[in-house]
Structure formats: C-alpha cells, structure tokens
Structure 1
Amino acid sequence: MVTMPDTGAVMVVDDDKTVAGSAHTAPDTQRRWVFVDVLNVVACLAVILLHVSLNAFSPEPSRTWVEAVAFQAVGIFAVPVYFMISGMNLLGYQRRYSTRTFFRKRLWRVGKALVLASLVCYLLFGLFPSAFGTQAVADSFGPVDFVKRFLADDINSFYWFLYSIIYLYMITPLLSLAADDKRLMQYLIVVDFAIAWGVPLLERLGVAERYLESLLHWPLYMSQDMLYFLLGYYLIHHVEWRVPAWVWLLVAGAAAAVMFGTALWTNGYFSGGLSGEYHNYAVNGSPVRVVESVAVFMLLRECEPRLRAVPERARGLIRVLSGAVLGVYLFHLPVINWLTANVHGAFGDALARYPLLRLVVIYAVTVVIVIAVKRLIAVARNAIRR
C-alpha cells in the first residue's frame, strides 16, 4: 500500500467559483473565475506529481533520485494553492449566507466526503488486499478497526487535508471578521508568517530550541495552512497592483529552482554524503515555498482575461475536469495501489521507470472513473425524481 509523507498532497473542497469584488467595490456575485477551474486542475496534477516522486524520500546518488527531488520542488505548491482558493472563496462568506448556513454547507460536504471515501477505501483495501497490496488492513479488518484508523487518519494517508480544512472552517467565522479590514489582514498575515515560518527557519539556522519554546506555544499562528487561507483572500480582494504573468512565471520557476538546489545541498548530494534519511525542510518547510505558491496563484490570476477568451467548448471541458478534482483526490490512491499490484510486464516497467507517464495514467484512469460515476449518479437521481 502506498503511503505518503506530508509532502503537500491536497484537494480543494470548496466549489464556490463566484466571489465578491474587492473590499472597496460592490460584490460581483455572478462572476465565475476561470482561473480557479484551471488552478484546480493544475494543482490536482501537481498532487499526483508529488505522489509519483515519493522515491525522493529515499536518497541515493542516482539520476532517478535527483529527478524525484525536482518533481517535489515543482509540485509542492499544490497544498498552499488549494488553501488559498478556499480562503479566497470563504472568508467573505457572510456576504452570501449566515454562519449557520456556512457550517451546514461546508462541514456537511467535507464530513460526508471524508467518511464515505474512507469507508470505500477501507472496504476495497480490506476485502481485496491482493488487488491493492493492503494485507495489513485485511489482517485487522472490522468496524472497530475502521473507527480507529479513521480517527488516526490511517486509511488513506492522502486525506490529511480534509482534517486540516475542518480546522480552518472552525475558525473561519472569526477570521471573516477581519476579511475586509486590510490593515488587520496584513497584521494576521505578518504574524502568522513570522511564527509559522520564521521560528522553524531560526531553528534551521542553529538557534537553540530553548530560545524559541515560548513562540511554539502560539498554536493559532503556528498554522502554515492558515497563512495560505488568509493570503488567498488578501491577494484577490486587497492587492490592487498588477504584475505581468511572465514575471510570476519567472518567480515561480526561480523559487522551485532554489528549493531543488537547496534540497540537494542539505541532503549531501554535492558533497557525496547522502544518507538514508531525507531532509525535507528545503522543499516542504522553507519560506521559499510560500513564494512559489503565491507566484503560481497570481500567474493564473493574471491569465484570467486570456482564459476568458478561450472557446466555450474548451472552458466547458476545464469545468468538467475541475468538477472531478475532488473525486480524483479521494480515489487516486486505490488506482495507484491497483496499478502497482497488478500491472506488470513492459508497461509495468515503463510505469515504474517514467514518473510522468505514471502521472498521466493515474490521472486519466481516475478522472474517467470519477466522471463516469458522477454521471451515473446524476442519471439515477433524475430517474428517482421522475
């Protein structure tokens, strides 16, 4: 069974594509951001890119390992981008509905997806262990084991994001009070960045932990996820200056290059001192990750006019793929496990050897299944209504 270190695989669970205008303009509740649909799909592919390059966590002096580290550096924006989209859509929720409605809409959707998907994966892994390489689940299979694994996020390790987004939902009513106060938002962002990213950076630079212990007791501001949540709303509603898309592309590329090079250096690749333990701070914990994530988010935001000029048929396809992203996130692990356990021969060797081919196959298989199931459910619902 494939399990994943906390590399950033995640999935957006907020389907609102209409957002208000800036804090100083009237709400444009009819507008649908095309760039959000594109960003959903791009980040979904980045999620899978992270998962097909998990061999980065097993350092070795080989081209394959270096390539995996590069993929990790390129795709690590996926988590932050999804939190940013959620914050962009939800921090201004009070313009659209009450707090009670917010919790009913959001917690119900996330909770339902988490429970049902966990149950499906648990049944697949427990009843068909040979097909998915999950004998450990089959050995302890049962209702009590399901509850224990569910509470410990030990059924599908990719679901950790859903547990995290529930935390952000719980504090959204509080954060929303600051949403339209630009100075207050700046304060929250600066303090969050200083604590969530600055404290770990000081530790990496050699400052003794005992000098930082008091700051580690600020749990709200230690949330890196909250920083992205705030940034998504702030960048759309409070930032009026514009930067050309090509500049954001260069910034994103430079940030990925810095993380890639730093990861090789900190793991001893250049000095020949590679060990079996992978040090992930350079990619997963570095403040440079914030730069890459913001750059990718704003790159697609600046492409909005061009994306609106794309033919409607193409935009329709993008919407379909965007609508399938939650399902792809929820069920691409079973696809990965099934392919690993069942596809052999020349094609299996090719999948093992070429991560990008593996990415394409995993995405294509999962998205086809998800779209087909969604349409079958829609047909069944229509039939019931009639």
Structure 2
Amino acid sequence: MAKSKKYYFMYLNAIASSFAVVVLHTVTNPAQFGIQTSRPSFYLILCIILGIIFSYGVPIFFMQSGANILNYRDRYNTKTFFIKRFNKVVIPFITWSIIGFFFIFGKNNGSLTIKAFIKNFLLGDIVGPYWFFYNITGFYLCAPFVSLIIKYGSKKIIKYTLLILIVTNTVIPIVNILIKTQSLFGSSFPFVGSYAQYFIAGWYLTHNDLSERRYKQIYLLGIVMLIFEIITTIYFTFYIKQIPMLNYPGGIVKTFSDIAMIPSFCIMCAFFLFFKQRECWLETLSAKTLLAKGASLTFGIYLIHPFLVTYLLDPFNKFLVAFPLIIRIIVDPLVIYFASGIITLYIRKIKYLKWLMP
C-alpha cells in the first residue's frame, strides 16, 4: 500500500478550522452579550460579520476529511478503513456524548434517563456543537463507494459528481427560497447528502493542480460571495424579517450565509486554496513539526470546548465586566481554545484515557 503524501497546509487548515469553531460558539451570538437585535448597532453587526467569517470551521473540516479519506484504497482495505474511523471518531463521539449527557444536557435540566439519552442522541440535542459528527459518520459510511469514483473515475466523472452535489445541495435551496416553493429535485438524488460537496471538493482541490488564472478567479468569486453574504445577512436581518428557512435564534437571518448555500461553498473553496498555496512556504518553516503537533490536538479541541463554554466562560467573564465588550470578544475564544488544547494534551498523556482524544 502506498503511503499518503504529507501536506503541511492541512495542519494549518486543522488549526484554523478548530479555532473558527470555538469563535462561533463563544462570541457570535449577540444574545449572550445582551445585545438587542431589533436595530443595527456596532456590536450586533460585529457579531454578524464574525459569524460569517468564522463559519469556515466545519466546512474546512469536511474538506480535509474528503482530501484525506477518499483515496484510502491506496493505503489500506475497506475493513481497515472502518476500524480506523470507528476507533478515531465514532468511539470518542459516543463517549463524549455520554459525558455531555450528564454534564451539559443534565445541567440544563434535561431528563437523565436511558430513553432520554437515546432520543436526544439521535436528534443531536445532547451537545449542540457535535452536529457535524452525524454528517461525518454518514460520509464515512458512503466513502467505500465514493472512493471508487475517485479511484477509477475520470476527472470528468469526478467533476460531474461534484456539479450534481453543488446544484442539489447549494443552488436548489436558494431557488426554493426565491420562488417560494419546494422542488422535488432536491430529494430526488439518492447519492446526494448534506454537505457531501465539501468532501469531494476537498479531495479534488487537494489532489489536482489549478492554473494561476483559475486560482485568481476562485479568489475573486470568494471575495464577492463574502461581501454578498455580509450585505444580505445585515439587510434581511433588519429590513425583511419574513424570509423563509434558516432564521436563526436571536433574529439574525442567515439564509444566504448558511454553509449549505452556494455563496458559502465558493468562499470555503477559496479559503481552502489560499492555504494550499502556502504549502511551499510551510515546507520551509523550521516550526513545521510544531505545526503538526498543534494540528494533532484539534480533534480534541472540537470534543472538549463545549464543556469549557458551559462551565468556564461565565465565571471567567466576571473578571472582564469592567472592560469594554470588544475585549471579551477578543479574549473569550483565545481562552477557550488554548484551555481546550491544554486539556487535550494532558488527557493524551494519560495511558488509559488517551483513547478519548485520538
């Protein structure tokens, strides 16, 4: 079996995406700061912009998963693939969900029964930020046949597959909103699943070289779409309240900036390629080993940070009451991120607990 090529930009991607997730869960909800959403204000607009900019966390994680996994047949067989994924992702996910059932769900006065656990685990209501594990698990289950397309399909077939995913998952939902209907085309493709476009795009962009002109076109499209997301989110939040679908809590209308939509997909591809173009520079860094070690902690940060947000954030913020709100917006994500990383590092050093943080 061939050994997979090491990409240093993937380490940078992992660190950036895990930090983005922490930012989203600490400082992008205006309600937790007591900010009114009935009229525009500096801090409300700042929360909106931060929420849009740092939404890249989970999509980039999906893209990295696709880049690393869809060619698994070059390294080992399907049985080994499932064993590795089960040990590295499924077991920690279930274990931390059980812990979260008692310490997060239970803290919010949830019923602590086996029936309640099963129901809320299936609904994804135990630890909110773990929602992406359900998508990633579905992707792993589909990887054996998707990997056949990657391994044996021509570049045209792969592009066609990606096009179908983009149209079905990111374009049709916006069309449904604009013309106020529910097209059956969105559910007519048995292969298509939510966010599947990110997995295949991650593989394609990693393992195929693009021309300099194509890079610039994608960067320009990403910038235009980012501006579009910011403008439409602010406009619809304050001036058009009755837009259907994806109206998030707090009154912020994220219909056009949701990661499932085409504008966000364009931004994520541009962001992913920006890091990819840093590969040659990263290879020359003397600290690239440290970069790899930092990236190895990111999965643990995904797992542990909801607990720190629940138990550490409010007590810590009591020390920041006298400071301007902008200080809290800057400091909170950094504290949660580095604290999560340190806890992950120490758990991984404990012989009988390191399986919790693969």
2:238 match: secondary structure: coil
Of 272, 281, 300, the match for 2:255: 281
2:202 corresponds to 1:232: yes
- The 3 A distance-change label for structure 1 pair 45 and 249 is farther
Answer yes or no: is the 8 Å Cα contact 1:197–1:224 preserved in 2.
Answer: no
Residue 46 of structure 1 corresponds to: 20
CA distance in 1, matches of 2:204, 2:354: 41
Give the counterpart letter for 1:194 in structure 2.
V
Residue 205 of structure 1 corresponds to: 178
1:321 match: secondary structure: helix
CA distance in 2, matches of 1:374, 1:190: 41
Answer yes or no: is the 8 Å Cα contact 2:30–2:250 preserved in 1.
Answer: no
Of 94, 107, 113, the match for 2:92: 113
Of 245, 249, 270, the match for 1:295: 270
Q: Deviations over 1:192-212 (max 9, x none)?
A: 111111211212222533xx2
Displacement of 1:243 in angstroms is 5.6
Q: Deviations over 1:119-168 (max 9, x none)?
A: 22233337xx6xxxx2413xx22444333322222211111111111111
CA distance in 2, matches of 1:177, 1:214: 25
CA distance in 2, matches of 1:252, 1:42: 18
1:205 match: secondary structure: helix
Answer yes or no: is the 8 Å Cα contact 2:22–2:337 preserved in 1.
Answer: yes
Displacement of 1:379 in angstroms is 10
Displacement of 1:321 in angstroms is 1.4
CA distance in 2, matches of 1:379, 1:225: 32
Matches within 5 A, 1:152-171: 152-171=123-142
Residue 66 of structure 2 corresponds to: 87
Residue 368 of structure 1 corresponds to: 342
Displacement of 1:375 in angstroms is 1.8
Residue 23 of structure 1 corresponds to: none
Q: Deviations over 1:174-196 (max 9, x none)?
A: 11111042111111111111111
Q: Deviations over 1:30-72 (max 9, x none)?
A: 6311100011001111111211234258733221110011011
Q: Deviations over 1:282-326 (max 9, x none)?
A: 211431101110011111111000001111xx2222122111111
Answer yes or no: is the 8 Å Cα contact 1:53–1:69 preserved in 2.
Answer: no
- The 3 A distance-change label for structure 1 pair 135 and 266 is closer
Displacement of 1:89 in angstroms is 1.0
Residue identity (%): 21
Query: When the two structures are aligned, how many residues end up with a matched partner?
Result: 341
Q: Which moved more, 1:298-307 or 1:362-371?
A: 362-371
Answer yes or no: is the 8 Å Cα contact 1:49–1:75 preserved in 2.
Answer: yes
TM-score (norm 2): 0.85
CA distance in 1, matches of 2:257, 2:7: 29
- The 3 A distance-change label for structure 1 pair 333 and 67 is same
Structure 1's unaligned 5+ residue stretches are 1-19, 21-26, 382-386
Residue 37 of structure 2 corresponds to: 59
Instruction: Tell me the C-alpha RMSD between the 2 structures.
Output: 3.0
Answer yes or no: is the 8 Å Cα contact 1:351–1:357 preserved in 2.
Answer: no
Answer yes or no: is the 8 Å Cα contact 2:313–2:332 preserved in 1.
Answer: no
CA distance in 1, matches of 2:307, 2:17: 19
Answer yes or no: is the 8 Å Cα contact 2:65–2:202 preserved in 1.
Answer: yes
